[in-house]
Amino acid sequence: MRTDTGQVFRLEDYRASDYLIPLTGLTFRLSPGRTVVIAELTIERSDAARGNPPLILDGDGLKLTRLKIDGKSVDPSAYEASSDRLVIAEPPNAERFQLLVETEIAPSQNTELMGLYRSNDVYCTQCEAEGFRRITYFLDRPDILSVYTVRIEAERAEAPLLLANGNPMESGDLGSGRHFAVWHDPFPKPSYLFALVAGDLGHIEDRFVTASGRQVALTVYVERGKEKLATYAMDALKRSMRWDEEMFGREYDLEVFNIVAVSDFNMGAMENKGLNVFNDKYVLANEETATDADFANIEAIIAHEYFHNWTGNRITCRDWFQLCLKEGLTVYRDHEFSADQRSRAVKRIAEVRTLRAHQFPEDQGPLAHPVRPRRYREINNFYTATVYEKGSEVVRMIRTLLGAEQFRQGMDLYFERHDGQAATIEDFLKVFEDVSGRDLSQFSLWYHQAGTPNVAVKTAHNAATQEFILEIEQSVPPTPSESRKRLMHIPLAFGLVGPDGKDMPYSDVDGANVENGVIHLRKRRHVVRFSGIAQRPAASLNRGFSAPITFSVAQRPENQFFLARHDSDPFCRWEAFNALQTEALIAASRNAFGGKAAEFKGELVELAGAIAGDETLEPAYRALALTLPGEADIARDIGTNIDPDAIFAAREALTIAIATSNRESFSALYAGLRTEVPFSPDAASAGRRALRNTLLDFLAALRDGAPLAASHFKTATNMTDRAAALRVLSHRHPGSPEAVDALATFDARYRSDALVMDKWLMIQASTPGPGAVDLVRSLLDHPAFSMANPNRVRALIGTFATGNQTGFHRPDGAGYRLVAETVLALEKQNPQVAARLATAFRSWRALEPGRQEKAREALLTISAASGLSTDVRDIVERTLA
């Protein structure tokens, strides 16, 4: 573990490297406790070098055992090797020379899961962002592109399978039970994309013929016995490959594409060239073990990592400040893929819910940073919702600005101009300026300025002049170290919905540039006048969520209800209903805070019933609309002085009000949606299950609802229904005989399947109320839990900290203490996962004063610990600042 040195990295300090490494040869002699790594590097002086600068290679926890330059041993006085760097003060004064570096590492002792480590007796690697320096000394920065040839030697019995990036070259026997394989990757790549896997794994294989007729051998490797669980991932891979050819003209470029699923992994997956390594949670699935959400995640993540082959690998990042160049763009691409494979409207709503749940609180709290940050202490803490999700929204806005055709031309130019390079956000924006002739300098603030812009709108209609007027004002709230904000270019898609539910035409518009249904806001205030509007329309604004902003519209409630029933834009229709629910919930939680009973408008409760039964809407859409805003969503919209118990009470009250008034229609609808056999993971079937399970949640919220949920659980024929029923039982009827029985049945049935048991841990960790703290503490000792496995930690502690508002925010601070203790216990073995967990405190200043103080105390116990990792110290200090 690297302890904090206080060092800060700044974008403005970027300098090209003095040296390049055009060729990298690596030999691994694998052994769990002592692996020898021999790096043979061709080093070249770069154009940036002046004179004969020292060669400084990065390391992290390394032990040097041999060093040669041009085949000759180097005198110890001529270099300085420490665990974190290798300095050769006077390298040969030649254009190029050969460096041989031998290091020794211990994969079996690597608990950080960065560099070369062991997962279930399989050797695997994770190098992004700076894990390669835990394997060998190197210029471990993304602008050093090198052609790799990798030789792996291992015991055949332990590791019959030997994989690395690129294409297989040769393999053979070494005698005494050992064997070898050589891999060559012809595409120059940065070190963070290096990968090696060795072990004894099962696999499934398939083929893909690219658009130009090249054959690619596809293989997914999984734990032996789990081969059948990889078929959905393989199918998603083939669909991704085809889609990227059709939509972006991108073909795959190697002879093989390999995916390996491992069970110990710090994040979702990794796009190493030709050898993607996955968290097995995002590969393994069948109806018995995976929910529809799991299937959708697998499809999206397989696609995401595959799409990185062009956006990330062929064109990579110049430095880590440019992370969004590959991540925001690739998230945009995987979103579009899923929208094409499933329902575009449903996908968009789900994306916005995710953005609001993860990115908005980040942008509105102490960890706010621009999509392209300018400074960091620990780069691993910048794989954030802002870089990924807001980064994707920025790309989407570029498409909105340019239109589909010019956007595609810009992407084509990007691939043509920057293939094989390590590029920047400026390079990316420039291609779109070049194809469109537009000036994107004001727009580029989306990359450079943190904070969620707010747009406030007032509407007025003048019947006499037949004018409809929008008064629009933008503001960007201050964020840490950016108190003054510049005005943004905000593309606001809109429609004026007439009494017949259709968009009204207007004869003229004045006050802002309006093109193709988009108002371009560039100034602080615009008064936009539409003429030729005889009757007052309802303003449908930010259609499709065209800009990632918060929004306040002074619009009559009847217009909101009207939009919720009639808007032709499915996103805004959902949004109108969601806003009505949110308003009602905020009012009810204020009442609950003041001890008053909640009351809800009949029209709102009836509308929920109408949406549930509206056959013109897809079931998945209806399910999303019926799902009330989450407790954290309501808290975020309230903004300050948050009392999670009052919010919970309000949400319960609205659930019961909706369930009570719509009981009969919900029951009939529920009964009509039977479990479908045989199971299919497709979007339409998943949508019907989602609607049925959402209806169950309402019906089971009623006092006599436990038997219905118990029967749903018992008759379930797939994991989606089974997990939904278990959640409903244990959240709505905790401690009931039905809940206790279902939890025990589930445990007995899935005890040996860790991924399924994660669901069991998650459901319990999110049980509302003060009892959750003790429940989670007791589960720390359950055999299904392990502090060494990131999936287990995220399932139990992560879910508790971010998915259990009343548990984590228990007024006496016991929830905060539990999470702080876990952060401290975990960070010694895995600082990256510990730091991620610590971000659960990021919204602490929005809490009511009592909880705020308890949260601060917990944060202080973390920051007071000595020898804290850079990862955790960075998060905790920024959170407290």
* Structure tokens given for 828: 């010694």
Beta strands (DSSP E) in 263-407 are 269-270, 275-279, 316-317, 375-376
Report what 264 binds from ligand B3K, Zn ion, none; CB cut-off 5-8 Å by kind.
Answer: none
3-state secondary structure of 170: strand
* Structure tokens given for 245: 């050819």
CB of 870 to ligand B3K, least distance (A): 13
3-state secondary structure of 82: strand
Show contacts with ligand B3K in window 284-323 (CB under 6 A).
304-305, 308
CA distances (Å), origin 476, targets 356, 490, 551? 16, 11, 12
What would you report as the CA-atom Rg of the chain, rounded to the nearest whole angstrom? 28
Report what 567 binds from Zn ion, ligand B3K, none; CB cut-off 5-8 Å by kind.
Answer: none
Q: Which of 103, 110, 240, 380 binds ligand B3K (CB under 6 A)?
A: 380
Comparison of 272 and 400: residue with beta carbon closer to ligand B3K: 272
Comparison of 58 and 271: residue with beta carbon closer to ligand B3K: 271
Please check whether residue 622 is in contact with residue 611, taking contact to mean a CB–CB distance below 8 angstroms.
yes
Whole-angstrom Cα distance, residue 189 to residue 186? Answer: 9
DSSP state of 628: P
Comparison of 287 and 327: residue with beta carbon closer to ligand B3K: 327
Comparison of 267 and 739: residue with beta carbon closer to ligand B3K: 267
| Window of 50-58, 262-270, 519-527, 715-723 that interacts with ligand B3K by CB under 6 A | 262-270
CB of 507 to Zn ion, least distance (A): 47
Report what 380 binds from Zn ion, ligand B3K, none; CB cut-off 5-8 Å by kind.
Answer: ligand B3K
CB of 266 to ligand B3K, least distance (A): 6
Comparison of 330 and 839: residue with beta carbon closer to Zn ion: 330
CB of 423 to ligand B3K, least distance (A): 16
Q: Give the pairing of strands 215-222 and 35-45.
A: unpaired
Q: Does 383 sit near ligand B3K (CB under 6 A)?
A: yes
Whole-angstrom Cα distance, residue 151 to residue 80? Answer: 27
Comparison of 331 and 541: residue with beta carbon closer to Zn ion: 331
3-state secondary structure of 166: coil
Please check whether residue 468 is in contact with residue 461, taking contact to mean a CB–CB distance below 8 angstroms.
yes
CB of 830 to ligand B3K, least distance (A): 12
CB of 327 to Zn ion, least distance (A): 5
Comparison of 112 and 327: residue with beta carbon closer to Zn ion: 327
Tally of helices (H runs) and strands (E runs) in the chain: 29, 33
CB of 128 to Zn ion, least distance (A): 9
Comparison of 309 and 542: residue with beta carbon closer to ligand B3K: 309
Whose CB is nearest to ligand B3K?
A: 128
| Window of 94-102, 135-143, 263-271, 698-706 that interacts with ligand B3K by CB under 6 A | 263-271
Verify whether residue 336 is a known catalytic residue: no
CB of 301 to ligand B3K, least distance (A): 8
| Window of 46-54, 221-229, 266-274, 689-697 that interacts with ligand B3K by CB under 6 A | 266-274
Whole-angstrom Cα distance, residue 86 to residue 394? Answer: 40
CA distances (Å), origin 622, targets 409, 543, 614, 669, 793? 37, 19, 8, 12, 33
Please check whether residue 241 is in contact with residue 302, taking contact to mean a CB–CB distance below 8 angstroms.
no
Report what 267 binds from Zn ion, ligand B3K, none; CB cut-off 5-8 Å by kind.
Answer: ligand B3K
CB of 330 to Zn ion, least distance (A): 5
Whole-angstrom Cα distance, residue 20 to residue 145? Answer: 8
Show contacts with ligand B3K in window 113-132 (CB under 6 A).
128-129
* Structure tokens given for 369: 């940073």
3-state secondary structure of 439: coil
Whole-angstrom Cα distance, residue 411 to residue 68? Answer: 44
User: What does 181-239 look like in DSSP terms, one character per residue?
Assistant: EEEEEEEEE-GGG--EEEE--EEEEEEEE-TT--EEEEEEEESTT-GGGGHHHHHHHHH
CB of 489 to ligand B3K, least distance (A): 27
Q: List the catalytic residue out of 299, 305, 336, 393.
A: 305
CB of 443 to ligand B3K, least distance (A): 24
| Window of 52-60, 265-273, 587-595, 669-677 that interacts with ligand B3K by CB under 6 A | 265-273
3-state secondary structure of 502: coil
Report what 351 binds from ligand B3K, Zn ion, none; CB cut-off 5-8 Å by kind.
Answer: none
Report what 128 binds from ligand B3K, Zn ion, none; CB cut-off 5-8 Å by kind.
Answer: ligand B3K
Token match 């995710």: residue?
354
Show contacts with ligand B3K in window 762-781 (CB under 6 A).
none
Q: Which of 18, 60, 264, 271 binds ligand B3K (CB under 6 A)?
A: 271
Other C-beta atoms closer than 10 Å to the C-beta of 762 total: 19
Whole-angstrom Cα distance, residue 718 to residue 619? Answer: 18
| Window of 264-272, 500-508, 526-534, 708-716 that interacts with ligand B3K by CB under 6 A | 264-272
Angle between helices 644-661 and 683-701 (to 10 degrees): 100
* Structure tokens given for 115: 């560099």
Whole-angstrom Cα distance, residue 790 to residue 826? Answer: 10
| Window of 267-275, 553-561, 619-627, 717-725 that interacts with ligand B3K by CB under 6 A | 267-275
Token match 């497709």: residue?
682
CA 24 from centroid of its chain's CA atoms:
32
Please check whether residue 166 is in contact with residue 184, taking contact to mean a CB–CB distance below 8 angstroms.
yes
Report what 805 binds from Zn ion, ligand B3K, none; CB cut-off 5-8 Å by kind.
Answer: none
Comparison of 573 and 836: residue with beta carbon closer to ligand B3K: 836
CB of 396 to ligand B3K, least distance (A): 18
Report what 282 binds from ligand B3K, Zn ion, none; CB cut-off 5-8 Å by kind.
Answer: none
Report what 791 binds from ligand B3K, Zn ion, none; CB cut-off 5-8 Å by kind.
Answer: none
Residues in the chain: 881
Report what 332 binds from ligand B3K, Zn ion, none; CB cut-off 5-8 Å by kind.
Answer: none
Comparison of 380 and 479: residue with beta carbon closer to ligand B3K: 380
Comparison of 179 and 304: residue with beta carbon closer to ligand B3K: 304
Cα 543–629–587 angle (5° rounding)? 105
Helix (H) or strand (E) holding 459: strand 454-462
Helix (H) or strand (E) holding 833: helix 831-838
Comparison of 304 and 536: residue with beta carbon closer to ligand B3K: 304
Show contacts with ligand B3K in window 626-655 (CB under 6 A).
none
Question: Which residues sit at the interface with Zn ion, rule CB under 5 A?
Answer: 327, 330
What is the maximum alpha-carbon separation in the chain? Answer: 95
Comparison of 296 and 612: residue with beta carbon closer to Zn ion: 296
Whole-angstrom Cα distance, residue 376 to residue 692? Answer: 46
Number of residues engaging ligand B3K in binding (CB under 6 A)? 12
CB of 331 to ligand B3K, least distance (A): 8
CA distances (Å), origin 32, targets 101, 119, 120, 180? 20, 11, 12, 16
* Structure tokens given for 236: 């998603």
First CA to last CA across the chain, in angstroms?
Answer: 24
What residues pair up with 206 in beta bridges, in sequence order?
A: 218
Report what 383 binds from ligand B3K, Zn ion, none; CB cut-off 5-8 Å by kind.
Answer: ligand B3K
Q: Give the residue numbers marked as catalytic.
A: 305
Residues that bind ligand B3K (CB under 6 A): 128-129, 267, 269-271, 304-305, 308, 327, 380, 383
